[in-house]
Structure 1
Amino acid sequence: MSSGIQFETQDWIKQLGADYQHYKVRQNQGQLIFSDAMGVINEEEGTEVYAAGFYNHTQISELVPIFARIGKIQVLRLMMNFSGLSKGFCYVRYENAAMAQRAVNCYNNNQIGDKILTVKISRDNRALCIKSSSNSDISGLIKLLRGETSVTKLVLYRIPNTDYGLIVKYKTHKDAALGRKGLIRRFKSDIFQWKLDFEEATWELIWNSQLETYNFFGKSLSNNELL
């Protein structure tokens, strides 16, 4: 974060009023993040919007007041490049889904300056899709992932005439993103992809971690037998 942005934040945040008195701007992993330093974020699906189309020199101090007109912002994340400029898009999470939809209705295809914005509900993807032709690879991953507190569900599929597929569902999108990054780093593989909804329709369900028993590679086992 440049020193200019740090200096500027103090005044413009105060001008937003009492609702934002504990908010700060911090930099983290290529993002400028405007959020409540003392609050707990509600990451319910449908509360976040994706906004794109503004100039790369647009600052977070310009974006926050625009999106705050809609309702109380929980978090605004401005994506940055290595040179310290924005990538021209951000994510805004509101207190509830109604506010997020209102932001879409008000700002999508509307003009700010001479730029046309794209604003839509963010796809809050909390699931990864892992494909492998190796039974042992998938078995090992299941044992590993069952120990992760951020993982809420594991679903194993047989993809007709090809490989096995494991859907890993996490508590939040952030958990899923961090989980994917950790898996790629650990296994040095690109098989950990974001789940595509249409894929499940063509797959044969073999196992669901929330069921007490399942068919695991041709054997009927209980959940406890995999621990």
Structure 2
Amino acid sequence: MEGQQLQQLLNPQRLKSLQEWMQKSSITLTQVNGQRKYGGPPPGWRGPVPGPGCEVFISQIPRDVYEDRLIPLFQSIGTIYEFRLMMNFSGQNRGFAYAKYGDPLTASTAVLTLHHYRLPEGGCLTVRNSTEKRQLRLGDLPTSINQVELLRMLRMMSEGVEEVLLKMAGPKGREFVALVNYSSHYAASMAKKVLVQAFRKQYGISITVKWMSFSKSKHVDETGEDDRFTPPVLNPLPKPSITPPHLHPQPLLHDVPPHPLIQPFFRAAGGPAGLRDETMPRAPVNQDAVSQLQWICELHRLGTPQYEVRFHRTSSDGFLYFNFKVLVPGLLFPLNGVIQILPGTSIQAMKAEVYRAAAEQVIQTMCKVSNLRPF
């Protein structure tokens, strides 16, 4: 009886098409914990493991549509690093999946192109950026602990720890907390399950472990968690003007202000207080904003800026709006904002344009907070 019910749930022709596609394309699918996975990495992958902002969340998938239809569709946007289709015990999909690309802009292009895509089998897909939350907030830490020691302790207790930032928090700044970045959402989830008990057992310390909450404004996605971020010190960057950044000449940072004047920004942002004493040399001429921001961060030993870009919307006049978040490792919080561009001739060209506009806003914000004239 159960076998007959299962046959009624599954479409034999769809299952046959899936098997034929797998044989023809030499695709390997692995069943793991309620999901069927391709790649992670796929055969022949040569790039690094994709970072934040590279994954899209796909929902409203008909229950008898499988990877033979979905993977080629999302590969038409760009090379897929990993594809995960959620499955139930009956062999049906659970109606949602995740596709991870090599960079955030390709993921945003997938959202722009395939959101509301109508499948030939019926059904209209919903595609949006995945949250991929991977940052934990550790509270009630002893004030005597230092960042290097805490990083060592966390790496002994959990996998995938990338960096740790310590700061004072709470209404009166009396609570000592740590923001811990992990290499993946899975690594952060596993750590969240074990850290409280591990600290109590190994060090006799009772701490709290929570997902990092980025804003009081709710923007709920597939995990039911908050995905928007407003920096605790800086106000949100202003929205772009009517003219998109690439339609007018971009000023270059020909002369970065002397170091003593730019220090207020780093103190306000929680960055290192002991910066270099000498006056900063002139920035390299004729380099774009991405190179200039990298140069500033290297000069102050703040680390390499990390960009996260997400497609937001298309305006009626054809401009593409992107939300961006730039994390400078030496600062306690990312800098975020909104930029707009016109569609480019290729994904790589659009990616470069978005990153340039984001870097320029970050430089201007750093100078603005320091009461400086950026150019």
Contact 1:9 1:25 in 2 (8 A): no
Task: Look up the match of 1:45.
Answer: 52
Q: Classify the secondary structure of the residue corresponding to 1:198.
A: coil
TM-score normalised by the chain length of structure 2: 0.43
What's the counterpart of residue 30 of structure 1?
Answer: 34
| Counterpart position of 1:62 | 69
Unaligned runs of 5+ in 2: 1-9, 201-205, 217-230, 234-266, 275-375
CA distance in 1, matches of 2:94, 2:197: 25
Would you say the 8 A contact 2:138–2:207 is kept in 1? no
Counterpart secondary structure, 1:92:
strand
1:120 to 118, 128, 131: 128
In 2, distance between residues paired with 1:6 and 1:37?
Answer: 24
CA distance in 2, matches of 1:190, 1:54: 41
Aligned position for 1:216: none
The structural deviation recorded for 1:31 is: 1.3
Query: Residue 195 of structure 2 aligns to a residue in which SS?
Result: helix
Q: Deviations over 1:175-219 (max 9, x none)?
A: 3233234437868999533212238728xx9xx9x9799xxxxxx
Residue 77 of structure 1 is matched in structure 2 by 84
Distance 1:185 1:8 in 2: 48
Paired with 2:70 and 2:199, the residues of 1 have a C-alpha distance of 39
**Distance 1:185-1:27 versus aligned 2 partners, 3 A rule:** farther
Q: Deviations over 1:106-159 (max 9, x none)?
A: 111333354332211222322112344x649x99x9463143562122223422
Q: One-letter code of the match for 2:213?
A: L
Equivalent in the alignment of 2:181: 169
Q: Does residue 1:158 correspond to 2:166, yes or no?
A: no
Q: Could you tell me the percent identity over the aligned residues?
A: 25
Deviations 1:38-83 (A, max 9, x none): 6466323332211111123332233112212222222101122344
In 1, distance between residues paired with 2:162 and 2:30? 29
Indicate the SS of the match to 1:11: helix
Partners of 2:124 and 2:208 in 1: how far apart?
36
Q: Secondary structure at the match of 2:215?
A: helix
Amino acid in structure 2 at the alignment position of 1:159: G
CA distance in 2, matches of 1:31, 1:212: 47
Unpaired runs of at least 5, structure 1? 214-227
The secondary structure found in structure 1 opposite 2:49 is coil
Q: Across the two proteins, how many residue pairs are aligned to each other?
A: 198
Q: Return the alpha-carbon distance in structure 1 between the equivalents of residues 194 and 21 of structure 2.
A: 37
Q: Hey, which of these two has a bigger chunk of strand by percent?
A: 1
* Cα offset, 1:26, TM superposition: 0.1
Judge conservation of contact 1:154–1:166 (CA < 8 Å) in 2. yes
1:92 Cα deviation from its structure 2 partner: 0.4
1:201 aligns with 2:232: yes
DSSP-derived class of the 1:61 partner:
helix
Matches of 1:109 and 1:37, distance apart in 2: 30
Contact 1:49/1:92, CA 8 A, preserved across alignment? yes
RMSD of aligned C-alpha atoms? 4.1
Question: Highest relative contact order (Cα 8 Å, sep 6+), 1 or 2?
Answer: 1
Q: Tell me if the contact between 2:50 and 2:103 (Cα under 8 Å) persists in the aligned partners.
A: no
Provide the rounded CA distance (Å) in 2 between the counterparts of 1:39 and 1:99: 16
Query: Which stretch of the first structure deviates more once superposed, 46-55 or 6-15?
Result: 6-15
Residues 48 and 100, structure 1, Cα contact 8 Å, conserved in 2: yes
1:104 paired with 2:111, answer yes
**Match for 2:125: what amino acid?**
L
Shift in alpha-carbon separation, 1:144–1:117, aligned structure 2, 3 A? same
Q: Aligned partner of 1:69: which letter?
A: S
Distance 1:6 1:144, change over 3 A: farther
Inter-CA distance 58–191: structure 2 relative to 1 (3 Å threshold):
farther
Residue identity in the other structure for 1:201:
P
